[in-house]
């Protein structure tokens, strides 16, 4: 358990202090868009702009790990940049670092407890009532009505792997931040910021109660999905509406391929192939490989799925993609005892092995 410290700074003060004292090149966080309705993950370099920062704003227009990947993949910044990340974004970033799609050099990672987000088309900066409810739910450690199903079933809502972690559940968002500094980099930053352990704070019991509520929800969700997916009929029904737009993979923080395997020439067939298959079955649904895409994608990235929910948000035909991937991913992850996003140094399961394992799968 990390030591929690009352920073005596509200969020704006905190960001200002980061700028001032840490000589940051920039901060990346959810920021109000000039048009005023929406917020987006934005890189800011000017301290004057930070009043527009709204790191907690409960929407995820893009998984920020994808943004950080874009930002650092070619080369990380030469000066420190603070990035605010939700726990699932942080987990995704950790996974991306493993596959060299992101670098954390010169990033100061600020994580915070996540009470979940709303589907992004359902929330605006002006939705005061909704946001008020959300704050209340945060303070109480309860799921807020209307947040995405995967969020309400997310049990890993406390950041893992941050340099600075903001304790958030069970607290008031406008009050000074309660921080912890899990990494060396974080501790260094704390020193520079002049934060010491003199202002220790207790962990909020709301964290546990939320964990419990979420645990229950997760179980239910798993059961629901397992039932829906039983047998080939289930598999077909669940994905029946899929229009093969692949939006799920394009917003997925883990799907990092430049040219998706399932959009590559591999899956372009010569005409005769379509007609032969049509003759075998009497009819052939086009585009083909629709279900294969989902299963195949799962096999490619399911072990790293952090259940961030982006896929489901982006699905134009309301397939519960994220819930499916969370459920199936969890099973696959359990097979190797792998927890995605937990540890940057842990190798990906398919890149390692032990000599005696999984013997039940062979004969």
Partner 1 sequence: MPKASTVVIYGTNLSGYRIAYALSKLGYKTIMLNRGAYVDEVRNQVLTQLPFDLCWACAYAPQRLFVGLGAMQILYNSELLELTGTAGNFKAKVKKRDPFVNNYICAECEKCIDACPVEVEKNGKKQKAVYVVPKMFWENIFLIDEENCTKCGKCETACPTGALKMNPPVEEIEIEAGAIILAPEFDEPGEAELAPFGWGRIPNVVKSSDIARAALATNFTEDSFRRPSDGKLPQSVAIIVTPHFNEKGIEYENYNASAQAVYRANKIKEMHPGIDVFLFCRDYKCYGKGHCRMYERAKDNGVHIIRTEKLALSVADGEKNRISFSTCSTKELTDKKTVEMTILITGQRPPTAMKRLSKICGIPAESHGFCDIVPFTCAKTEVNGVFAVGEFTSPKGNPETIWEGYGPLREILSWLGEKNVAKPQPPVLRDVSHEEAKTGVFICSCFGAFSDKMDLESLVNRVKMFPHVSHAEIINGCCTPSSIQETAAKIKNSGVNRVVLAVCTPTQKLMKFRKTVMIAGLNPLLSEFLRLREDVIQVHTDPARMEDKAAAMIYAAASKLKTARALPTLMDNIGSSVLVIGGGPAGLEAARYLGEAGYDVHVAEKTDHVGGMADILSKDLEGHEIKKYMAQLLEDIEKNEHITIHTDTTVTDVSGYAGNFHVRFETKDGETVEVDPAIVIIATGALEAKTDQYGYGKDERVMTQLEFEQKLAEGKITGGHVAMIQCVGSRNPKKPYCSRICCSDALKNALTLRKQGIDVTICYRDMNTYGFKDDYFQAALKDGVSFLRFDENHYPKLEASDDALKIKINDISDGKDKEVVSDYLVLATGMDPNRENNEVFSNLFNLRIDDDGFFDVESCACPYEDASKRIMKPFELSSNGVFVVGTAHSPRSFMESVMMARQAAGKAMVILSSGKMAPPNAMYVSEVDTSKCTGCGLCVDVCPYNAREIDPVRKVAVVHPFLCDSCGACVVACPSSAAFLRDQREDQLIRTIDGLLAV
Partner 2 sequence: MADQKTEKIIVAFLCNWCTFTAADLAGTSRLKYAPNIRIVKVMCSSRVDPVFILKPLLDGADGVLIGGCAPGDCHYSKGTFYARRKIALAKTLAGSMGLDPRRIRLSWIPASEGPRFARVVNEFTKQIEALGDNPAKREVYI
Partner 3 sequence: MAATNKANMDEVGMNKGIWVEGRAKKKVLEFLNGLLNSKKLEAVLMPATNRTKDSYSWFLMGKDGLLESADPFPPVMTTQGARAVSYLTKKGRAWKKTAVLLRPCELRATIELAKIRQVELENLVLISFDCPGAYPLEKYFNGDQKKLDEAFDACLSKQAELEGARAVCSICNRFTGRGADIEIGLIGGEAKGFWLIPGSREGEDLLEGVTGSASHKLEAREKAISELRAQREEKRKQTLDSFQETVKGPENLMRVLSSCINCHNCSRVCPICFCRECYFDSKALSSEADAMLQRAQRKNGLRLPPDLLLFHLGRMTHMSISCVSCGACEDACPADVPVSMLFSLAGRNTQAVFEYEPGRSLEEAVPYTVFKFEELKDFEAPYIKEYSKEQ
Which chain residues interact with partner 1 by CB under 8 A?
A: 78, 259, 264-265
Residue 271, contacted partner among partner 1, partner 2, partner 3, none, CB below 5-8 A by kind: partner 3
CB nearer to partner 3: pick between 247 and 332: 247
Q: Return the axis-axis angle of helices 321-336 and 206-228, rounded to nearest 10°.
A: 100
Report the alpha-carbon distance of residue 150 to residue 154 in Å, rounded.
Answer: 6
The verdict on whether omega for the bond into residue 205 sits within 30 degrees of 0, i.e. cis, is no
CB nearer to partner 2: pick between 213 and 289: 289
Q: Return the axis-axis angle of helices 87-98 and 64-72, rounded to nearest 10°.
A: 40
CB nearer to partner 2: pick between 205 and 353: 353
Write phi, then psi, for 245 (nearest 5 degrees). -80, -15
Q: Return the axis-axis angle of helices 231-238 and 206-228, rounded to nearest 10°.
A: 110
Please report whether residue 270 would count as binding partner 2 according to CB under 8 A: no
Report the alpha-carbon distance of residue 128 to residue 132 in Å, rounded.
Answer: 6
- In the region spanning residues 175 to 194, those forming contacts with partner 3, defined by CB under 8 A, are none
Sign of the CA dihedral with 79 first, then 80, 82, and 86 last: positive
By CB under 8 A, which span of 91-99, 187-195, 209-217, 235-243 interacts with partner 2? 235-243
CB of 69 to partner 1, least distance (A): 17
CB of 343 to partner 2, least distance (A): 19
CB of 268 to partner 1, least distance (A): 9
x/- mask, partner 3, residues 312-351, rule CB under 8 A, reads -xxxxxx---------------------------------
- In the region spanning residues 28 to 57, those forming contacts with partner 3, defined by CB under 8 A, are 28, 31, 33-38, 40-46, 49, 52
Residue 202, contacted partner among partner 2, partner 1, partner 3, none, CB below 5-8 A by kind: none
Please report whether residue 70 would count as binding partner 3 according to CB under 8 A: yes
* ∠ Cα 344 349 351 (to 5°): 90
CB of 21 to partner 3, least distance (A): 19
By CB under 8 A, which span of 60-68, 135-143, 164-172, 206-214 interacts with partner 3? 60-68
How far, in Å, are 111, 218, 224, 322 from residue 211 at the CA level?
A: 18, 10, 20, 20
Report the alpha-carbon distance of residue 123 to residue 304 in Å, rounded.
Answer: 28
Please report whether residue 226 would count as binding partner 2 according to CB under 8 A: yes
């Amino acid at each position: 358990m990390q030591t929690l410290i009352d920073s005596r700074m509200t969020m704006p003060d905190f960001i200002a202090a980061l700028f001032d004292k840490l000589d940051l090149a920039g901060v990346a966080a959810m920021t109000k868009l000039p048009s005023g309705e929406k917020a987006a993950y934005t890189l800011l370099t000017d301290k004057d702009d930070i009043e527009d920062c709204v790191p907690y704003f409960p929407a995820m227009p893009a998984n920020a790990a994808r943004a950080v990947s874009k930002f650092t993949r070619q080369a990380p910044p030469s000066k420190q940049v603070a990035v605010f990340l939700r726990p699932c974004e942080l987990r995704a970033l950790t996974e991306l670092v493993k596959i060299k799609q992101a670098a954390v050099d010169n990033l100061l990672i600020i994580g915070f407890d996540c009470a979940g987000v709303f589907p992004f088309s359902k929330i605006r900066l002006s939705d005061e009532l909704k946001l008020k409810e959300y704050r209340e739910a945060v303070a109480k450690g309860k799921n807020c009505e209307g947040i995405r199903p995967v969020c309400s079933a997310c049990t890993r809502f406390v950041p893992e792997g941050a340099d600075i972690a903001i304790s958030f559940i069970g607290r008031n968002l406008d009050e000074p931040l309660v921080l912890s500094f899990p990494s060396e980099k974080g501790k260094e930053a704390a020193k520079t910021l002049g934060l010491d352990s003199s202002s220790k704070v207790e962990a909020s019991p709301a964290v546990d109660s939320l964990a419990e509520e979420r645990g229950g929800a997760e179980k239910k969700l798993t059961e629901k999905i397992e039932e829906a997916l039983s047998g080939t009929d289930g598999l077909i029904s669940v994905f029946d509406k899929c229009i093969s737009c692949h939006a799920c993979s394009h917003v997925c923080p883990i799907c990092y391929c430049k040219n998706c395997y399932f959009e590559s020439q591999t899956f372009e067939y010569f005409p005769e192939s379509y007609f032969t298959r049509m003759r075998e079955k009497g009819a052939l649904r086009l585009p083909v490989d629709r279900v294969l895409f989902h299963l195949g994608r799962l096999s490619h990235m399911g072990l790293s799925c952090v259940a961030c929910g982006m896929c489901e948000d982006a699905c134009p035909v309301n397939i519960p993609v994220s819930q499916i991937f969370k459920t199936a991913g969890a099973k696959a992850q359990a097979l190797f005892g792998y927890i995605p996003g937990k540890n940057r140094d842990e190798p990906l399961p398919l890149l390692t092995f032990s000599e005696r394992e999984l013997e039940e799968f062979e004969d």
